């Protein structure tokens, strides 16, 4: 089974804040869904896996990102304002927790359209 990958996302910062591209043109045309989650301190997103779709999630910390791959847990800790891109294959459980005192931003893309009556989401408690 393929494993999740983690990449540093380049960010331009100035007095106004920051700007980054969550994914490049090579991935953009394959995406069928995009969503943004602004997550309160202590809150958790995910705790699931997808049977059919792969997901690309870009997280701006502070955050704990946890995966279950082949039965093993893997953690990635992001400091405040640190940005990482996670490519998560189908079948890999994942969760995102805001570990700070300010909002965590998550921008996610999926290779399948979201279907409210039959979501491609299987619960799996990681955090």
Mean pLDDT, consecutive 10-residue segments, the chain of 127 residues?
Answer: 91 94 88 94 97 96 95 95 96 97 95 91 96
Range of the domain at 98: 5-14+21-123
CATH number, domain containing residue 88? 2.60.120.10
Contact 80, 29 (CB under 8 A): no
- pTM of the complete model beyond 0.85: yes
Number of Cα atoms under 13 Å in the Cβ half of residue 53? 23
Name the domain count of the chain.
1
Burial of 115 by CB count in 10 Å (0-12 exposed, 13-18 middle, 19+ buried)? exposed
């Amino acid at each position: 089974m393929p494993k999740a990958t983690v990449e540093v996302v380049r960010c331009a910062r100035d007095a106004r804040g920051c700007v980054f591209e969550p994914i490049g043109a090579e991935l953009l045309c394959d995406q069928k869904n995009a969503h943004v989650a602004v997550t309160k301190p202590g809150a958790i997103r995910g705790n699931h896996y997808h049977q059919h779709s792969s997901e690309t999630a870009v997280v701006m910390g502070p955050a704990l990102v946890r995966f279950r791959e082949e039965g093993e847990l893997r953690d990635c800790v992001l400091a405040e304002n640190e940005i990482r891109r996670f490519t998560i294959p189908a079948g890999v459980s994942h969760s995102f927790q805001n570990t700070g005192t300010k909002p965590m931003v998550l921008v996610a893309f999926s290779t399948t359209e979201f279907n409210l009556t039959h979501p491609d989401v299987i619960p799996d408690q990681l955090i």
